[in-house]
Chain A
């Protein structure tokens, strides 16, 4: 089956602008989660969506928001960009494998955001 896709792969924005990142999960997965990875702060959990509802979230300011559509695709938005928002943004698609009841999670390649 097709993997998790993220668009765009690379993005350069200016401070104060806003940005929207997109994530398409694996077919059949209804949960999408977002993460930020930076050299200084490491991997940090942003939020998690399931069936169009935000179910869990990390400790990020309100400038970071997201949504999930009925086809499980998700978008993440960052408003009023700051230099510190430069990072690799990863999304993951997850679900429970039918038959084995085993949890599976797959990550996309990430969107590299540079804020200048």
Chain B
């Protein structure tokens, strides 16, 4: 089955760029997502990218997709303390006639003022 992997922790200084990486195994993955989860604030879809795209930019967020290497990254420009949260990568792919979404373990981003 699909496996999605992320590093567990990332620490950056306020104002720097953050880059969170993710790898996935299923080449049939059609959509790839980034979610943000803050304590007490629930889960939020940040952005997504179709598998036929290489890059997507949305304000301070840039998603890069290397389909050949099955590597996805999320870059947050000018990281703020409010960006401190857990970031989940997820991939939607085919599984026995259905589509299934598989999540990574999450990367905890700590922003140091």
Binding site for B on A (CB under 8 A): 33, 42-45, 48, 55-59, 90, 92, 103-110
**Which of A44, A57, A106 is in CB contact (< 8 Å) with B98?**
A57
A107 and B42 in contact (CB under 8 A), knowing A42-B105, A42-B106? yes
| Any A CB within 8 A of the CB of B24 | no
* Consensus secondary structure, chain A interface: strand
Do A45 and B45 touch across chains, with their CB atoms under 8 A apart? no
Q: Which residues 77-113 of B have a CB within 8 angstroms of A?
A: 88, 90, 95, 98-106
**Which of A43, A55, A59, A108 is in CB contact (< 8 Å) with B42?**
A108
Supply 5 further A-B pairs (C-beta < 8 A) apart from A59-B1, A103-B48, A107-B44. A42-B103, A55-B99, A56-B101, A57-B98, A58-B101
Do B106 and A45 touch across chains, with their CB atoms under 8 A apart? no
Do B103 and A45 touch across chains, with their CB atoms under 8 A apart? yes
The contact string, 1 if C-beta is below 8 Å from chain A, for chain B 37-56, is: 00000111100100000000
The 10 closest A-B pairs by CB, nearest first: A43-B103, A45-B101, A105-B45, A107-B43, A56-B99, A56-B98, A57-B98, A58-B100, A42-B105, A107-B42
8 A-B residue pairs with CB within 8 Å: A42-B103, A42-B106, A43-B103, A45-B100, A45-B101, A57-B98, A106-B45, A109-B42
A104 to B106, CA, bound (A): 21
Do A44 and B103 touch across chains, with their CB atoms under 8 A apart? yes
* Consensus secondary structure, chain B interface: strand
Binding site for A on B (CB under 8 A): 1, 42-45, 48, 88, 90, 95, 98-106
Q: How far is the CB of B97 from chain A (nearest CB, A)?
A: 10
Do B48 and A56 touch across chains, with their CB atoms under 8 A apart? no
Residue among A43, A55, A56, A108 with max Cβ neighbours from chain B (10 Å): A43
Q: How far is the CB of A25 from chain B (nearest CB, A)?
A: 14
**Which of A44, A48, A90 is in CB contact (< 8 Å) with B43?**
A90
A42 to B90, CA, bound (A): 12
